[in-house]
Amino acid sequence: MNDAVDAVNDEVTVAEDGSITLNLTGNDSAPDGGLKSPTSTAWR
C-alpha cells in the first residue's frame, strides 16, 4: 500500500552569502517506508 507521507515543514535562517546543509526529509516519515529523498536542491 502507498500510504501518505507525513511531511513536516523545514525552516532555516542563513546570513547573506552564507550556506547551509539541510536534511530535507530528516523530520518526515512514511508509514510504509516509502520515503523518497531529493538528490540536489539549490536556492539562489
Per-residue pLDDT reduced to its tens digit, 1-44: 677 888 888 888 999 999 888 888 888 888 887 777 777 667 66
- The pLDDT of residue 13 is 92
pTM: 0.52
Q: In degrees to the nearest 10, what's the CA dihedral of 12, 15, 18, 20? A: -10
Tally of structural domains, the chain = 1
Per-residue CA distances from 43 to 14, 15, 17, 19, 34 (Å):
12, 14, 12, 10, 26
Find the domain containing 7 and state its range.
Answer: 1-37
> Is 27 among the domain residues?
yes
Identify whether 5 is part of a domain: yes
pLDDT of residue 1: 65
Q: Which residues, other chains included, contact 24 with Cβ-Cβ below 8 Å and sequence gap of 6+?
A: 10, 37, 38, 41
Q: Is residue 15 part of a domain?
A: yes
Domain assignment present for 30: yes
Nearest alpha carbon to residue 22 among 34, 8, 6, 3 = 8
pLDDT at 24: 80
15: phi then psi, degrees, rounded to nearest 5:
-70, 155
